[in-house]
Amino acid sequence: MDRLLFGDNQFFGVNHMSEEKARAQSMRFQDIQAVIDVLDNAYDEGVKTFMCTTHDRIALVCDHMRADPERYKDFHFYPCMPYAHKYANAVTEDGMIGALKRFMPDEGLINAALRGGMSLAKKDIEGITTLLVDAEMKMFTGLSTPVIFLQNVVVDLLLGLGFKEAFRIFADHVKKRYNAEPGFITMNMPMLLDVLEEQGIENPIVCSNINKIGFRMCGGFEAYEQALKTKKFRAIAMSVYASGAIAPKEAIEWVCQQPNIESIVFGASSRGNIRNTKELVDRYWPK
């Protein structure tokens, strides 16, 4: 993995600090070309991995990259699935099972229909999970997706429920079908690491908030420090600026001092901010 990964919150009006700012961003990035321009800036600054949700609009980015393979030959997607809000709203409208049915692939593949129908009937979570993963992965066909993530809403729901086997099923499917590394995003990193270990998922890629003020690091700051020191996993730090609560230099300097962090994922809307983060990382995180 690269040391710097580019995130996508800024493109979809996600801002943990201000709803006004979030709205301004969603206006600015309404035209997909504005998103692509920022991705081009990042790419040209040497930030070549895009860690993105499987939001419908990402499909347009995928189309753009596919159309110019020469220009984007070093560009990687790290898909993070699922985009949870579409499922949450569907559950309100159609109920749990109705929503599930709605998101089963409907391209008429006999195989998919069988796998889905049979799985639903047999209460076999493996079939359902793999089908949902495949449905979410469709937009990335032909593009490089070396790591595929399960989003924190799902990871932490499964973690809380004790649905541990699902992590194993996801990991196996992603490796087998996409030849990719499974990744897990969580707000409860120490607790998740224990479960992944128990499930025999070795040296997992785990992305969680890691920042100097301990913002959304559930289980506690010390538990995170301890995990970074002692556990065998590949850590990705997100929310390193804690939504802007920490000044960039202070934030990056601190993260770069922590042991065992392999990558930082960050979001930015301008070439200047991308360059600043890149320079700070180059300065405080010597190779």
Q: Please report, as ranges, the residues that interact with other proteins according to CB under 8 A.
A: 12-19, 22, 26, 85, 88-89, 91-98, 123, 125, 153, 156-163, 165-166, 187-188, 191, 213-220, 242-243, 245
Cα–Cα distance between 111 and 93 in angstroms, integer?
Answer: 28
Task: Look up tokens 């990744």; give the residue.
Answer: 183
Furthest CA-CA distance within the chain: 56
Taking the complex as a whole, the smallest distance from the CB of residue 13 to other proteins amounts, in Å, to 5
Taking the complex as a whole, the smallest distance from the CB of residue 91 to other proteins amounts, in Å, to 5
As beta bridge partners, residue 238 has 209
Taking the complex as a whole, the smallest distance from the CB of residue 279 to other proteins amounts, in Å, to 24
Cα–Cα distance between 115 and 129 in angstroms, integer?
Answer: 10
Cα–Cα distance between 177 and 198 in angstroms, integer?
Answer: 23
Closer to other proteins by CB, 158 or 268: give it: 158
Taking the complex as a whole, the smallest distance from the CB of residue 243 to other proteins amounts, in Å, to 6
Closer to other proteins by CB, 97 or 118: give it: 97
Closer to other proteins by CB, 243 or 258: give it: 243
Q: Residues for the chain: how many in total? A: 287
Amino acid letter for position 112: A
Closer to other proteins by CB, 90 or 143: give it: 90
Assigned token pair, 85: 């809000």
Closer to other proteins by CB, 69 or 95: give it: 95
Are 166 and 187 in contact by the 8 Å Cβ rule? The answer is: no
Taking the complex as a whole, the smallest distance from the CB of residue 234 to other proteins amounts, in Å, to 21
Taking the complex as a whole, the smallest distance from the CB of residue 15 to other proteins amounts, in Å, to 8
Closer to other proteins by CB, 15 or 263: give it: 15
Taking the complex as a whole, the smallest distance from the CB of residue 43 to other proteins amounts, in Å, to 27
Closer to other proteins by CB, 110 or 161: give it: 161
